Amino acid sequence: MDPRDNPYTSNVGAQPPALSSRGGIRVQRGVDETTSRRQYVDMEQTRSRRRPGDVRDAIFATMSLRTDAMSTREIADEVAALVGETSPSSVRSYIGLNTPDMFVRESRGLYRLREDLRLPLDEVEITDTPSGRHGDGDYETYRTGNAELVNADCLEWLASRELHSIHAVVTDPPYGLHEYSDEQQAKLRAGKGGVWRIPPSFDGHTRAPLPRFTTLTLAQLNELDRFFFEWARTLLPVLVPGANVVVASNPLLSHIVAASLSRSGLERRGEVIRLVMTMRGGDRPKAAHEEFRCVSVMPRSMWEPWLLFRKPLDGRAQDSLRRWGTGGFRRPSENRPFGDVIKSAPTHKREREVAPHPSLKPQAFMREVVRAVLPLGKGVVLDPFAGSGSTLAAAEAVGYASIGVERDPRYFKLAKSSIMKLAALDVPVSE
């Protein structure tokens, strides 16, 4: 065997490949996954002059792009595509010798990279796509005021976005993914519910539908974890250092989302508590209301967690503020800091009439949060799950530039008509 083909020669127990702009790992964005993997290897190297450690680096590059387990054959094929003909036995030996230090064996012949050893994509040198595709080039885009709305899948859109072009994120994502699948959305629009709970009307008021997250299966919870990990990893290169990421969640699922975002490389910075009385919880046992009249199966929910994360700073907070305009939260006034508990009311009827989205949040709350995420009041706020455009409307109301991405054509159409209407509403400002 050519020693250059032996990835574990003098490398057993070695650390993952270091990332630098001088060579080694490159990523090309906006193209298919196979091409992206190929770009992990410095294209200036020729396969005939392979250096010791190239196969090792290719193994890490290949497995960093996958959250699920891979067979050794899959890994060997991908490594060969990256660095040329490679002995499959060399790949198997390297993985075997470095398990469990670097790899996790899921079952016979199936391995995944340890989460803490994944290559941080936000530190990888990114090269432009051959077509020079950036931003909304291939997507339907609507612009109004300081807002830009894109009809696209957020992962695809993020993969085509310029580096360091977003200064903050405020978003209310699909908590469980399942409730926003085409099947469940069709049931919701037909009033049949599905995973959505359609509360009964009473006192002349129609209650907004709520997703029943207690119905999610273990597989769906694992899907949630994988999705938010992938989303955050794709988001990181687009953010400037110090960018705030604020993600709405709920008490039943926030721990899963928070863990996924933390593993991705974002820094946990706490959470904002929205104090609001909801229709979630507080019910008596189903089909046994009379028998257990003094029992609630779950507490009535009176708060909503909004997770706070940040892309790691490049230096000190003051350095990030001077260079990027990020690294903190804008104070409501010079003498009052932004707080992590915000009193809020349910979304007002007049807002729901403008934007009838099942997860619409009130403008008073949204404006307070959106205003705070840009500490110097400048930059671009992104909502990758734009829905009816409430984040963009809040940004418009406080004078910020914003971008929203929404994959559902119906909600995209709704947001086009509602952004400026919501922004124009006169809403109370917290004191």
pLDDT the model gives residue 242: 97
pLDDT the model gives residue 30: 41
**CATH number, domain 140-424:** 3.40.50.150
Query: Tens-digit pLDDT profile for the chain (431 aa)?
Result: 443 444 433 344 444 444 333 333 344 444 444 444 444 443 334 344 455 577 887 787 778 766 678 888 888 887 887 777 888 888 888 898 888 888 888 888 889 888 777 654 443 333 333 333 344 457 999 999 999 999 999 999 999 999 999 999 999 998 645 444 555 445 544 545 444 343 343 334 444 444 455 567 788 888 888 899 999 999 999 999 999 999 999 888 899 999 999 999 999 999 999 999 876 778 888 889 899 999 998 888 899 999 999 999 989 999 999 999 999 999 999 999 999 999 999 999 999 999 998 889 999 999 999 999 999 999 999 999 999 999 999 999 999 999 999 999 999 999 999 999 999 999 987 65
pLDDT the model gives residue 154: 94
Sign of CA dihedral 143, 147, 151, 156: positive
pLDDT the model gives residue 210: 46
- The owner of tokens 């273990």 is 218
What b-and-e string marks burial along 373-393, b requiring 16 or more CB atoms within 10 Å of the CB? bbbeeebbbbbbbbbbbbbbb
pTM of the model: 0.65
pLDDT the model gives residue 70: 85
Rounded Cα distance, 83 and 55, in Å: 7
- Burial (0-12, 13-18, 19+ Cβ within 10 Å), 258: buried
Rounded Cα distance, 284 and 293, in Å: 7
Q: Judge whether 166 and 403 are in contact, CB under 8 Å.
A: yes
Encoding tokens for residue 70?
A: 């891979």
Which residues are 307's β-sheet partners?
247, 271
- The CATH 3.40.50.150 domain(s) of the chain lie at 140-424
pLDDT the model gives residue 4: 41
